[in-house]
Each structure stands twice: as structure tokens, then as C-alpha cells.
Amino acid sequence: MRDLTAVKDALKNHQVELPSWAFGNSGTRFKVFGQPGVPRNAFEKAADAAQVHKYTGVAPAMAVHIPWDKVEDYAALAAHARDLGIRIGTVNSNVFQDDDYKLGSVCNPDPRVRKKALAHLLECVDIMDATGSRDLKLWFADGTNYPGQDDIGARQDRLAQALAAVYARLGPDQRMVLEYKLFEPAFYTTDVPDWGTSLVHCQALGPKALVVVDTGHHAPGVNIEFIVAMLLRAGKLGGFDFNSRFYADDDLMVGAADPFQLFRIMHEVVRKGALAPSSGVTFMLDQCHNIEPKIPGEIRSVMNVQEATAKALLVDPDALAAAQAEGDVLGANGVLMDAYNTDVRPLLADLREEMGVPRDPYRAYLDSGYGQKIIAERVGGAPAGWGA
């Protein structure tokens, strides 16, 4: 039996960061389906993110995506977030939506395009200075579609050069996190396709460069918790982009497709003491709500992360260690499954009551009338979406 006070304390301190873009319109590769009441700008996105925090109590940061969240005054955006009880988190760069980037950004064979991409990344660090954000998230759509299209090694050299320039620009408390994705939009080579490539670059750069694991960015069947264990062992796990996928990068709500995988990942995190904010691991969501309502979708995801985390915290470490040491295969697996099969929803409801938030955040939000209010108020203007 685990000490429930310790489990609850760990859960109270565990924070989930929300992506601003989850509140705007998004879609599939074929169609963006607009929804009424979506934010028109980053200020309104922060208001929606603050709702998720209000009802869950554990989501006090909103990541921004530049230029989707471009504003005149980033310090004012940060102040607005603070007034709403949240903060601006990770700054996500975007070097994949400009005509110039057809053949890549920082790996592009054209030095003019590389320079332009680097200037954007450096601008993102300026924004971090203004918002007080710690992390710059880098994801590159760079790659090639045809054998012979470009030199694989030369592209890595160009990448390393750009990363080094960004690294040199980071302040003492700032970090850069490099995300990988196995394929798409490039289908022959992708310049940062896997955690190994990301890790090699981060290790060459230094302690302020870390790997970010987007759970949707792997081939089916990949053991993500193994990657997590390896990165934690190397002190190189910067954070997660949580979502679910049935195929690849579906960006569905985390814990929707495979809650057991999420539990296994959180078990590695808990086991390595990486749950608390002081561990430096960011637990971010990276989702697109195309057919589901956005704020409830984020609330559901936060609750799914909490359920997986609570179950991971319920694993009895002594019983597990003893079974492992004895080579008791079924006993060790049983310890894990006992925790996974525990219904933690009553525990989480009690925890929320202690924290002063509703026992059922999802229902409380639906009953609050906020969804109807923004539909009535946000009339006119251009709804925020994937376009810059």
C-alpha cells in the first residue's frame, strides 16, 4: 500500500503545459473545420487556457507558436497571462510555413533561406526574453523526398551550424529542446527523424540543449518508455509533446489511443524522479482538436495525464524492486498491473477537492457557461488557426 499523502503531493506539484494552437481552428491535411467561439488572437487563447487551469488546477502554462501567436508586445501578453493566473511557457518556432522553406529551412541548400530561418529562431529567443519563457522548442520540417536530392551529411552540418548559433544566443536560464519526427512532410530523409539524431546534436551543443519526445512521432510499436528511460539516464530529456496516435502524428487527445502506453511512460518518469517541475522535464500537450470541442478536449487530456501519473505513483517500488531482484517475472509484472488496474478517479476527485477545484473538471467546465459565452462574444474578426 502506497502512502497516499505522498502520492497526492506529487500529483499536486505535477504540471501540464497547454499548446495555444489547440484552442484555435485546426484540421486534417484536407480541410480545416472551423468552430464557433474560437480565439481570434493569443490573448483570447490565453483566456481559454486559463479555463483549463481554473478547472484542473494543474495547467498553469500556455506554450505559444510563432508566428501564429505574433503580437505587438510580448511582455503585455505575458502580463495578460499572469492576470489570468497562468504564464507563457515554451516558445515554439515555425520555419515550415513560408514558400522559401519548400526545400527546408536551416538545412536548405540556399544560404539565403538558411539565414532567414536562423533569424526567425533568434527572434524566438528575443520573444522568450520578453515573456520570461525558459524553453525554445525546435521542430524542423526539413528533409528530402528523393535519393540524390541533397547531400545527407551536408544537411546535418548546416543543421549543426544553425543550432550552434541559437545555442550561443540563449540566456543563462534558457534552454532549447529539439523535437524529432520520423517522417512527414519529407518522405525519403528527414533531417531530425529520431531521438538518436536529436541526442547527438544536443550532446554536441551542451547542457542547455535537450531532446523533446512527441509521443505521436514514432512508428507504430516503438517502445517510447525505453527512449524516455535512455534520455533520463543521459540527463537529456527536456520534455514531452503528449498526444495519441493510431498511425502517425494524429495529434489526438493524450491517453485516448493507448492509456497503457501513457502509464508506462509515466512509470519511467516517476521511477527516475523526473515528475516534479524541479526536474526540468516539461509535460506539454501537442494536440489538434478537429472534430471535438477544444477546451473540453484539453481538460480531458489533462485528466488523462493525471490518471496515468496517479497509477504510476501507485506502483509499489519496494515490491517491484524485490520481484525484479529475485527474477520473479510474473510478480514484477503483477506489481505494475495492480497499479495500472486501480481506479484512481476517486483519489483524483478527492485531490481536486483539497486543491479547491471541482471534483469533475470536465463537467464543471461544461456547466460553467463559458463555452456559450465565447460563442456569443467572439463574433467578427478572423478565427485563429494554423495560418501565420
What x-and-dash track marks residues 220-259 binding ligand RM4 by CB under 6 A? ---------------------x-------x----------
CA distance 342 to 351: 16
Using Cβ positions, the residue closest to ligand RM4 within the complex turns out to be 139
CA distance 218 to 249: 8
> Which of ligand RM4, Mn ion, none is residue 92 near (CB under 5 to 8 Å by kind)?
ligand RM4
Q: Give, in order, the Cα–Cα distances in Å from 121 to each of 74, 92, 130, 288.
A: 16, 9, 15, 23
Sign of the CA dihedral 165, 171, 172, 174? negative
Among the listed residues 17, 142, 214, 225, the single contact to Mn ion using CB under 5 A: 214
179 binds ligand RM4 (CB under 6 A): yes
286 binds Mn ion (CB under 5 A): yes
307 binds Mn ion (CB under 5 A): no
Q: Is 365 exposed, middle or buried (0-12, 13-18, 19+ CB in 10 A)?
A: buried
The 3-class SS string of 302-356 reads: HHHHHHHHHHHHCCCHHHHHHHHHCCCHHHHHHHHHHHHCCCCHHHHHHHHHHHC
Tell me whether residue 42 or residue 344 sits nearer to ligand RM4 (CB atom). Answer: 42
Q: What is the largest CA-CA distance in the chain?
A: 66
- Judged by DSSP in three states, 136 sits in strand
Among the listed residues 44, 48, 225, 286, the single contact to ligand RM4 using CB under 6 A: 286
Phi, psi of 95 (to 5 degrees): -120, 45
81-100 binders of ligand RM4 (CB under 6 A): 92
Among the listed residues 48, 214, 225, 298, the single contact to ligand RM4 using CB under 6 A: 214
> Which of ligand RM4, Mn ion, none is residue 191 near (CB under 5 to 8 Å by kind)?
none
Least Cβ distance, residue 162 to Mn ion (angstroms): 19
The three cell numbers of residue 291 are 472534430
Tell me whether residue 241 or residue 307 sits nearer to ligand RM4 (CB atom). Answer: 241
* Residues at the site binding ligand RM4, with contacts judged by CB under 6 A: 65, 92, 139, 179, 181, 214, 241, 249, 286
* Residues at the site binding Mn ion, with contacts judged by CB under 5 A: 214, 241, 286
